[in-house]
Structure 1
Amino acid sequence: MTLFRFLALPALLLIVVLVLVANEVAQARPSRRTTDIAYVPTSEAGFDTQRHRLNVYAPRRKAAVPYPVVVFIHGGNWNSGNKNLYSFIGRRLAKQGVVAVIINYRLAPQAQVPAMADDCARAVVWTYQHIAEYGGDPQRVFTMGHSAGGGLAALLAADNQLFSRRGLAANPVRGAILDDPAGLDMYDYLRKMQYGGDEQYLVPFGQDPAGWKAVSPMYYVTAQTPPFLMFIGGETYPSISSSSEKFRQKLKTLGREPEFAVLAGKKHVPMVLQLYWKDNVIYQALRKFVGAAG
């Protein structure tokens, strides 16, 4: 079995997520949702009417100071996933005093990971420039992701060039929350090609080892990298547990040791499904990490 096969949304997971989304609509959570905002100018060549959009979930109650902001990046093997499946995360965060931005980005085979990372960076740039209109604090923008989205969230926090290329003088990401992240070191993974079917990852990552390294967060972290909050499933796939521990140790040597927790008994898919419940351990730590008052 291919070690990363879990990253695709299987039919069962899709059904479970759709049930959660339907339940969210029925319960009308206390948040203000604004959907399908284009974070790339619609007149720009290459604008993707489906993938270059995001949803914002803001608390309904007004606050004396702006709310912290979390930009959530979905997983799905770099070739699947949709922001609309994760409305429950947006609503949970809004209920707890966080403005949530749930994004789409282009997927393989139409796009490769460098383009995906650029899409995610452009969504963060939009957030930085516009989130005050939704009650969010542009000085407290954090990235968050599960699986492939976790790797992208880490890359955004670590690779400042993603933002300098888009005209920002400094990286606006103040920290990253990684939920069972994949792709932290695809340079190492793809050089080994240990598992049957690994060739499929040459579609999103390309054939060039230099390209694999260029989108691996492991090679960008420095002593100035913002803080990380990491959660790993106790029964996740070996590639995730080993690369996450390697990432943790790299940060530790730089004096940036992350908050790190292994959740006993959790497999990869339940690591994101548990975010349906607002009192789970990830939200408890996230609130402190981003400075949420709710």
Structure 2
Amino acid sequence: MIGIKFWSFFVISIIFGSLLWAQQQPHGVEPYTIASTYQKLKAQYPFVEPIRPLRSNKVKAKKNVVYKVDGTKKLRADMYFPKSGKDKVFPAVLLIHGGGWITGSKENLGVMAQHLALHGYVAITLSYTLSREAPYPASVLDIKTAISWMRANAEKYYLDPDKIAIMGTSAGAQLATLVGLTPNSAIYERKSPFSDEVQAIINIDGIVSFVHPEAHEEGKSAGIWLGGSRTENWKNWNEASPLGYVNGNSPPILFVNSAQARFHAGRDDLVSLYNGYGIYSEVHTILDSPHSFWLLHPWFGSTLGYTLGFLERVFGPGQ
């Protein structure tokens, strides 16, 4: 009898624990990784291959460096450096992963960061607060804190504090563009003596407005991040739209886009504003490409090439 009671309790405990665990997981959120992207797209694009980590003795890495402490929570970054003399300083690129503001990880952009380091940049991939943990503007504040942290530690990490670019992919591109167009903004006020300004923006297939007519397909994941639907929380949807912050002091910007029109929302209007102010911009669309093209060959090479060309134009020849 005791044995039966024990096993009954044991089974009930497992079932209850499983239900509790399931309730704590993000519902309907699939993993967003290089591997999952390959599995999703290989049937439609049978010629693709997933990108793989670079093997080179010319790149150094420092993983899981804490850039922000908030109570008991620690946010971390992976850093990639050109392997050269310690007296040199390098332009820096901060990379923001995508995943609908709800999933994804800094590791998704590790291969891109390695290649940037190989070409003479300090490249940093970032973890930030996802929307299931805290909604907008938590992730924006994290990224701005990371830029200030980079400047505070510029000498330690051999980076040039006057040559910082921010690069994002998908939702990360929206975040990167928003951060890049709101330097030291009172809207996103933080306590730091170091500026969160960047000198260049690289937008890889991310929208630049949630309220533009072209942004009609943004829905559930944006609503989770922005605290309600467009009609329920217009303030956040409008406030988080980078397009509204363009001015004569905005930094140069590069767009690399897929053939999927929904991820271009607001781009052409932003470029038109840039042209009016005489600020440099570039737009490249990779024909017949899916979203998340930057995680797969043959499109990774084109994305890297456009990025390096833009950075050289903005910051000068690499080291």
TM-score range (shorter-chain normalised) is 0.7 to 0.9
Measure how far apart 1:188 and its partner are: 3.2
Measure how far apart 1:281 and its partner are: 3.2
Q: Does 1:176 align with 2:201?
A: yes
Measure how far apart 1:243 and its partner are: 2.0
Q: 1:89 to 1:29 in 2, by over 3 A?
A: farther
Measure how far apart 1:256 and its partner are: 2.4
Once residues 110 and 65 of structure 2 are traced to their aligned partners in structure 1, the CA distance between those partners, rounded to angstroms, is 15
Q: Does 1:286 align with 2:318?
A: no
Query: Which of 186, 189, 205 is the equivalent residue of 2:226?
Result: 205
Return the letter of the residue paired with 1:54.
Answer: A
Tell me which moved more, 267-276 or 244-253: 267-276
Query: Which of 182, 188, 191 is the equivalent residue of 1:166?
Result: 191
Deviations 1:191-239 (A, max 9, x none): x9845x8234211111311111111111111111111122222x12x22
> What is residue 81 of structure 1 aligned with on the other side?
104
Measure how far apart 1:271 and its partner are: 3.5
> What is residue 115 of structure 1 aligned with on the other side?
138
Measure how far apart 1:108 and its partner are: 1.6
Once residues 289 and 257 of structure 1 are traced to their aligned partners in structure 2, the CA distance between those partners, rounded to angstroms, is 9
Q: Does 1:187 align with 2:211?
A: yes
Q: Do the aligned residues in 2 keep the contact of 1:175 with 1:226 (CA within 8 Å)?
A: yes
Q: Do the aligned residues in 1 keep the contact of 2:152 with 2:194 (CA within 8 Å)?
A: no
Tell me which moved more, 94-103 or 257-266: 257-266
SS at match of 1:12: helix
SS at match of 2:161: strand
Once residues 152 and 185 of structure 1 are traced to their aligned partners in structure 2, the CA distance between those partners, rounded to angstroms, is 11
TM-score (norm 2): 0.76
The root-mean-square deviation of aligned C-alpha atoms, in Å, is: 3.0
Deviations 1:137-180 (A, max 9, x none): 11111101111111111111111216753334744311111111
Once residues 156 and 127 of structure 2 are traced to their aligned partners in structure 1, the CA distance between those partners, rounded to angstroms, is 20
- Structure 1 portions without partners, runs of 5+: none
Return the letter of the residue paired with 1:268.
Answer: H
Q: Do the aligned residues in 1 keep the contact of 2:145 with 2:196 (CA within 8 Å)?
A: no
The total of aligned residue pairs comes to 275
TM-score (norm 1): 0.82
Query: Which of 254, 263, 268 is the equivalent residue of 1:245?
Result: 268
Once residues 213 and 97 of structure 1 are traced to their aligned partners in structure 2, the CA distance between those partners, rounded to angstroms, is 37
Once residues 107 and 18 of structure 1 are traced to their aligned partners in structure 2, the CA distance between those partners, rounded to angstroms, is 28
Q: Does 1:221 align with 2:269?
A: no
> What is residue 58 of structure 1 aligned with on the other side?
81
Query: Which of 52, 57, 64 is the equivalent residue of 1:36?
Result: 64
Measure how far apart 1:124 and its partner are: 1.0
- Structure 2 portions without partners, runs of 5+: 1-27, 43-47
> What is residue 166 of structure 2 aligned with on the other side?
143
Q: 1:89 to 1:279 in 2, by over 3 A?
A: closer
> What is residue 37 of structure 2 aligned with on the other side?
13
Tell me which moved more, 271-280 or 250-259: 271-280
Larger helix percent: 1
Once residues 300 and 215 of structure 2 are traced to their aligned partners in structure 1, the CA distance between those partners, rounded to angstroms, is 32
Return the letter of the residue paired with 1:293.
Answer: G
Measure how far apart 1:83 and its partner are: 0.9
> What is residue 131 of structure 1 aligned with on the other side?
154
Once residues 228 and 40 of structure 1 are traced to their aligned partners in structure 2, the CA distance between those partners, rounded to angstroms, is 27
Once residues 254 and 178 of structure 1 are traced to their aligned partners in structure 2, the CA distance between those partners, rounded to angstroms, is 19
Measure how far apart 1:69 and its partner are: 0.3
Measure how far apart 1:133 and its partner are: 1.3
Return the letter of the residue paired with 2:66.
Answer: A
SS at match of 2:155: helix
Q: 1:288 to 1:254 in 2, by over 3 A?
A: closer
Measure how far apart 1:132 and its partner are: 2.3
